[in-house]
């Protein structure tokens, strides 16, 4: 996620906070920040999400089919869901008992699901999807006058589809979205089918690689589709509001060159396609929704250096955050610090070492002001209320830059590539990253990472002239 004002060439508001409420419940997957999120009793293999969207009424009829495998014998299991009223719920084709408890959907099948057994859960529901408003913005399904966008980080997916809503349980997805005629529906992955009726159209999207639930997105309005391809062969499809499509096409032309650059640093792009969707709505962030990063309408009015920074940030997340996902939310530095630093590397690549050094000096000035209480945030364990604090981004970027200075370019970038290859399409913790870099470099880096990630005082650095 790129929160407006956290990392700009022009204006930086360090210390912006994205508050999130932590809940407690023994049904969770074990995340220390969000004990209610997820469930450890099963592994979701695939979500099939069918949506019939009435834009004018702002209502949806939904059928969600979940293929899962039990990790233990399940007489009862939980799904995360705070959406509309459920009309039917089946397990393996048979009606199942269920009850709802403060965001949890508790399911009791007719017979237990045995350990290692695969099962299919189908949930039917309808109504108005209400975004979670605990953070002051709303995570999940968002209506605006002419359409819909979905942004769910960290726990908004459960507002619009029943799920195991934690990055530890990634799955493949299929979306079948029926919308009124004259609208397009853009979602994650590859568009595999389009069906037209006199008054409606249906778009079928398939996300073939594992995806965390918070990265699932649906975007609906009268988009213009702009398609291209990187030199390295990655297909790019962008979805732009009709009235601003020419300007946005010019802005997002940089995606192809960025994809080639990041592939050269990190490794092959991890998914089948990439692109951007720009909502006809304003909100104070961009989000790395998998294969189709989400941006607000105002992206067209931001100065070009900042726009490039934002575009790069969300693209880098496709590797760090989406392919390699956090093990628990306290590992968020592995997402935001990496995306911030690799966006800065684009500046080094395009504008040269002097511009890059000025940027890193500016970042260092932001994180080293004395006497500021916000410096007490420990970016390696920031707390549920500080997940998207500015220090996680900017001090996070400096942690990687200091590591690069310590190791040298050859070892640093080899360590990054080996870490990525080791955890691609899975999950990693900060401890996993440290162990991986130590294995590559042959160094004991415990003291280095303790200083940068867990101590409040910003380490002193020297700048070359």
186-244 tens-digit pLDDT: 999 999 999 999 999 999 999 999 999 999 999 999 999 999 999 999 999 999 999 99
Q: Which CATH architecture has domain 25-133+153-221?
A: Sandwich (2.60)
Model confidence at 362, pLDDT cuts 50, 70, 90, reads very high
Tokens of 295: 């941006």
Say if domain 1-21+135-146+222-465 classifies as CATH 1.10.390.10.
yes
First to last CA, the chain: 33
202-217 residues labelled b (16+ CB within 10 A) or e (exposed): bbbbbbebbbbbbbbb
Count of other CB atoms within 10 angstroms of residue 192: 12
Mean pLDDT of the chain: 92
- Do the beta carbons of residue 172 and residue 207 sit within 8 Å? yes
Q: Model's pTM, two decimal places? A: 0.94
Residue 139 pLDDT > 90, yes or no? Answer: no
pLDDT-derived band at 27, boundaries 50, 70, 90: low
Q: What is the pLDDT of residues 194-210, one digit of tens each?
A: 999 999 999 999 999 99
Domain ranges for the chain, please list them.
1-21+135-146+222-465, 25-133+153-221
Pick 20 or 118 by higher pLDDT: 118
User: Is pLDDT of 7 > 90?
Assistant: no
| Residues 344, 346, 351, 352, Cα dihedral to 10° | 80
Here the tokens at position 272 are 């089948």
Helix (H) or strand (E) run with residue 316 in it: helix 304-317
Spatial strand order in the sheet of 94-95: 94-95, 86-91, 118-127, 59-70, 42-54, 171-180, 200-211, 190-196
Q: Are 337 and 29 in contact (CB under 8 A)?
A: no
Cα–Cα distances (Å) from 220 to 6, 240, 264, in that order, read 28, 11, 34
Q: What is the pLDDT of residues 78-137, one digit of tens each?
A: 999 999 999 999 999 999 999 999 899 999 999 999 999 999 999 999 999 987 766 555
- pLDDT at residue 10 greater than cutoff 80: no
Cα angle: 174, vertex 233, 427; to 5 degrees: 50
- 53 backbone dihedrals φ, ψ, rounded to 5°: -100, 125
Q: Which residues contact 117 (CB under 8 A, 6 or more apart)?
A: 69, 70
């Amino acid at each position: 996620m790129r929160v407006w004002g956290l990392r700009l060439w022009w204006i930086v508001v360090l210390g912006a906070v994205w508050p999130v409420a932590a809940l407690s419940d023994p049904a969770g997957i074990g995340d220390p920040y969000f004990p209610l999120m997820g469930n450890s009793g099963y592994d979701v293999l695939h979500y099939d999400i069918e949506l019939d969207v009435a834009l004018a009424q702002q209502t949806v009829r939904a059928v969600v089919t979940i293929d899962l495998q039990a990790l233990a014998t399940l007489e009862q299991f939980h799904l995360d869901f705070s959406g509309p009223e459920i009309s039917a719920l089946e397990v393996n084709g048979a009606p199942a008992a269920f009850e709802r408890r403060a965001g949890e959907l508790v399911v009791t099948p007719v017979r237990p699901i045995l350990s290692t057994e695969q099962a299919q859960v189908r949930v039917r529901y309808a109504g108005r999807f209400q975004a979670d408003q605990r953070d002051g913005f709303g995570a999940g399904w968002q209506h605006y006058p002419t359409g819909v966008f979905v942004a769910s980080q960290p726990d908004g997916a459960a507002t619009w589809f029943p799920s195991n809503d934690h990055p530890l349980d990634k799955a493949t997805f299929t979306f079948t979205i029926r919308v009124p005629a004259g609208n397009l529906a853009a979602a994650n992955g590859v568009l595999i089918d389009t069906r037209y009726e006199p008054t409606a159209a249906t778009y079928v999207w398939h996300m073939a690689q594992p995806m965390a639930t918070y990265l699932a997105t649906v975007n609906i309005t009268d988009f213009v589709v702009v398609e291209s391809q990187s030199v390295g062969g990655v297909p790019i499809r962008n979805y732009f509001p009709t009235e601003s499509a020419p300007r946005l096409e010019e802005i997002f032309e940089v995606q192809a060159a960025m994809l080639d650059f990041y592939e050269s640093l990190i490794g092959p792009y991890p998914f089948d396609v990439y692109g951007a969707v720009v909502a006809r709505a304003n909100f104070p962030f961009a989000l790395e929704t998998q294969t189709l990063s989400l941006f607000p309408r105002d992206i067209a009015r931001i100065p070009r250096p900042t726009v490039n920074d934002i575009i790069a940030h969300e693209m880098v997340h496709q590797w760090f955050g989406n392919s390699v996902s956090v093990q628990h939310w306290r590992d968020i530095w592995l997402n935001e610090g990496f995306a911030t630093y690799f966006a800065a590397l684009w500046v080094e690549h395009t504008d040269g070492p002097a511009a890059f050094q000025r940027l890193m000096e500016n970042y260092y000035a932001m994180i080293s002001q004395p006497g500021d209480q916000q410096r007490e945030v420990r970016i390696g364990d920031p707390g549920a209320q500080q997940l998207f604090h500015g220090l996680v981004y900017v001090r996070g970027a400096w942690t990687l830059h200091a590591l690069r200075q310590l190791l040298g370019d050859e070892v640093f970038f080899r360590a990054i590539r080996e870490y990525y290859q080791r955890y691609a399409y899975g999950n990693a913790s900060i401890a996993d990253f440290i162990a991986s870099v130590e294995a590559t470099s042959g160094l004991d880096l415990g003291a280095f990472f303790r200083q940068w990630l867990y101590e409040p005082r910003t380490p002193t650095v020297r700048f070359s002239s």
